[in-house]
Structure 1
Amino acid sequence: MSLRIEGIAKTYPNGVRALQDISLSIAPGMFGLLGPNGAGKSSLMRTIATLQPPDSGSIHFRNIDVLKEPEKLRAQLGYLPQEFGLYPNMPAEAILDHFATLKGVVHAGERKELVAALLNQVNLYDVRKKSAGGYSGGMKQRLGIAIALAGSPQLLIVDEPTAGLDPTERNRFLNLLADIGEKVVVILSTHIVEDVRELCSQMAIINKGQVIVHGEPERIIDEVRGRIWRRTVPRAQADAYKARYEVISTRMAAGNTVLHAYAETDPGDGFIAIEPDLEDVYFHRLAAASGGRVPVEA
């Protein structure tokens, strides 16, 4: 395994237990980390990226003891946090040149070639002389990935990269991540189930600082196959059904409420069996981890 996380725990000074005994083994390729806002995803990403120490546990990347040798990991790390700053009045070309210098690419000719290659890779070469402040959200995210790739990292961490992007930019960004994930370890931290379903061969769901499921998406879906049921009811009747059945998610459709329920056997009452997807697993696991509390309407 390329990345081994064992028994990581973190409690902040205000008493919030952000991480509780997190253990994961992450092989090369795309790894999806799913969870609701506040689940502990960003805390785990910052810990792996050596931006904050854990209270206990260990992290190893290949032959590096990350907690004892953080500088060695940083030399192989690319990190795109959920929020990052750019120099708004500088063109992308100059920004990327600056970060390439910080990454240790000191020869001007080599750096020029690297900057051009990265801008082409993220499809920003034609707007390389435009100030970053005039970029769209998706363009800024792609520039952020180019910055993260400047040091040819072997471990790439991206935290909520598609939040707020329109569908076109989202697809472009996900395709870029998929290409990168063929060569290095990529950890995609998100609360968007579709991002993980479309990209990742391995995944984990984290909630309240704990891993509640870990494995291959298809295998995880198999665990609920034959146990997910759907019924559409008038909105006014939705609460009554939630009280009687283990409803794991709801959504509105043409003024009615579409219910997805979990049951070991046919619940009857108009429910029909459906082929589950990763979203059904996600909501079922979160509800189970929260003591059966039904999620809000999707």
Structure 2
Amino acid sequence: MGFENTDRRVAVIIEDDADIRALLEAVLTQAGFETIPTCNGLDGIAAVRANDPIVTTLDVSMPGIDGFETARRIRAFSPTYLVMLTARNDEIDTLQGLDAGADDYLTKPFRPRELRARIEAMLRRPRQSVRTDVASPVVETADARTPQSTTAVSNPEAVVEASVSAPPPGEETAAQPADAWFSHNGLKLNPAERIVELAGAQLDVTRTEFDLLAALLDSKRTVRSKNDLALLLRGEAYASAYPVDGADRRAVEVHMGNLRRKLGDSSTSPRWLETVRGVGYRLAAGQPGDLA
């Protein structure tokens, strides 16, 4: 769903421990993947570049470049789902991994069924593409400030106000045309095409950042708790598999911080993402003179 190459399900394994590498090969092969095993970061990066995998598992502690640096280099050119594995259960490792571009994080020893469940949850949502070119500016129409009917599909630049509920990421409904845009204070988001634009230029965000932003646009000024957002990122099939903990909430904070940085938003005078201390996040209030 949302993947360019549906005929070849490839998973790259980057793991220096031979026993764990063999276990990952067995788990992912049983899940229907063609596996490409590698034993260090540089070989793993080359394998990702050559094979365009849907999923990449990545060990944190490896000889040569570590998993964090490997993740950063992979994320610079590939939208592969990154699942980091570590023998350490420190929260700082989790946060570093997510900040480096990982989509999920598992502590060794892991349960094979849990790894498969997490991967299947990720596959239910579209993969965010990595842009290597400069997006053409989008010309705003004169009537872009006027809310469009949710059933109108004739205008390719239709802008749907944030007050219209968005479907879950990756899904379309009859009320949400494929060319519809949500807009708030000059920030635009297209749920169907998974595109974010700011000031006429396309913004490079990860899949997780996109889903968080879409959720806040959908909720408008209603506060979304960190627990709620953590469950959203897991997906329906995996939402209740285990309780939300402190690491999950901190992961949401890291993703929101990265999103804020990419937007150039201020935490003290937010234009888009407002923190409700001790609770979660909501969309910042509209500002006079801004494109609604």
Tell me if both proteins adopt one fold, taking TM over 0.5 as the criterion: no
Normalising by the residue count of structure 2, what TM-score does the alignment of the two structures yield? Answer: 0.27
Which entry has the higher C-alpha Rg, 1 or 2?
1
Normalising by the residue count of structure 1, what TM-score does the alignment of the two structures yield? Answer: 0.27
Higher strand share: 1
